[in-house]
Amino acid sequence: MNPEQIVSDEIFCTHGDAEKSFLTNKLQESLACYTFTLVTRGWLTAMSNGHEMTLLPGDLYTYAPGFSITILRASDDYHSICLLADEQITFDITVVRNVIRAAYFPVVQLSEPKLHLSAEAAQVLEKRMDLIIEYLRSDHLFLHESLRTLYTLFLLDVMNIMERTLKHYSISERTENLFISFMRLLQEHFIAHRDIAFYADQLCITTTHLSRIVRQVTGRTVIDYINQMLLMEASWLLQTTDLSIATISERLNFSDQSSFGRFFTRMKGISPKAYRTGR
């Protein structure tokens, strides 16, 4: 598995081991994708959204753009199966709300992006992901359409499992819906709109209410999420294109290259030029 292979595919699925898992630390800043990882053997410890988290067999970890994940340690026998879907294809499919809800549901209700599955539920998802791998390796004439269909079925399975697993919700349905709606808006407008008021107005709530919801669900601020999305987009452009830094700063709606440089250095601890040189 390598960055070029993943970037070129709308939907990608692969078996992973301890060595491959550490690619996440490099790839997360250059990929705008939704990721579902099912641990099948061993264990892995990661820093997720500022909190240390351990994944064990039967755990389903969900990642969505805007979150941060750093792999810290993994057992030698660690094994998982991972499904990645490009952000754009995610918004194109008919069950897009199920995607977003599946990605954020564990965070909203359990305060961490993982859910422990029963052996039966884990087997269902593993079979679905293996089938996607089988199609990816085939020369199917309608591969594009087939993968989208399989991705949709996978998401419906995930939501079915989540709904059955979590009987009592810790966050109200209204709060959950507002948070999910905010994240969807953010992914569409973070470049043009960096003010909380825009998102609050779109959701017909006050800025105070929106700030409270985001902090209640994740412990982070609205600005944290906006900055994280900008950093991910900037990192992706620096790593995968030859656009000048001035052009990138303009594309990301910064007032000038200097302000973009200060932002990137503050967030990343390294200048845009140094980051690109080390890619």
Q: Where are the domains of the chain?
A: 3-165, 173-277
Count of Cβ atoms closer than 10 Å to residue 168 Cβ: 5
Question: What pLDDT shows up at residue 20?
Answer: 85
CATH of domain 3-165: 2.60.120.280
Q: Within 10 Å of residue 30's Cβ, how many Cβ atoms? A: 18
Give strand pairing partners of 11.
85
Q: Is the pLDDT of residue 2 over 50?
A: no
pLDDT(5) > 50? no
* CA dist., res. 158 & res. 267, Å (int): 33
Residue 33's pLDDT band, with cuts at 50, 70 and 90, is: confident
Here the tokens at position 253 are 């709606």
pLDDT band, very low/low/confident/very high, at 23 (cuts 50, 70, 90): confident
Per-residue pLDDT tens over the stretch 160-212? 888 777 665 567 778 878 888 898 888 889 999 999 999 999 999 999 999 99
Pairing of strands 33-41, 51-55: unpaired
The string over 70-87, giving b where at least 16 C-beta atoms fall within 10 Å of a residue's C-beta and e elsewhere, is ebeebeeebbbbbbbbbb
Backbone torsions φ then ψ of 193, nearest 5 degrees: -130, 115
Q: Which residues is 17 bridged to in the sheet?
A: 79
- β-pairing, 79-86 with 114-116? unpaired
Beta carbons within 8 Å of 181's beta carbon, 6+ residues apart: 203
Name the architecture of domain 173-277: Orthogonal Bundle (1.10)
pLDDT at 99 (0 to 100): 61
Residue 236 has pLDDT above 70, yes or no: yes
pLDDT in tens, 89-138: 766 666 655 666 666 666 555 556 788 899 999 999 999 999 999 999 99
How many residues make up the chain in this entry? 279
Structure tokens belonging to residue 270: 């390294």
**What's at 271, amino acid-wise?**
S
3 touches 30 (CB < 8 A): yes
pLDDT at 158: 86
Instruction: Tell me which of 12-16, 37-41, 86-90 is least confident.
Output: 86-90
The stretch 1-17 carries a mean pLDDT of: 65
SS3 85: strand
pLDDT at 256: 92
Task: Give the integer Cα–Cα distance in Å for 144 and 3.
Answer: 20
Measured from the Cβ of residue 158, the count of other Cβ atoms closer than 10 Å reads 26
What DSSP line would sit under 9-57, residue for residue?
-SEEEEEEEHHHHTTHHHHTTT--EEEEEEEEES-EEEEETTEEEEE-T
pLDDT band at 229 (very low <50, low <70, confident <90, very high): confident
Beta strands in the chain, from DSSP E residues, in sequence order: 11-17, 33-41, 44-48, 51-55, 59-63, 69-74, 79-86, 114-116
Is there a shared CATH topology between the 3-165 domain and the 173-277 domain? no
In which order are the strands placed within the sheet that holds 11-17? Answer: 11-17, 79-86, 33-41, 59-63, 114-116
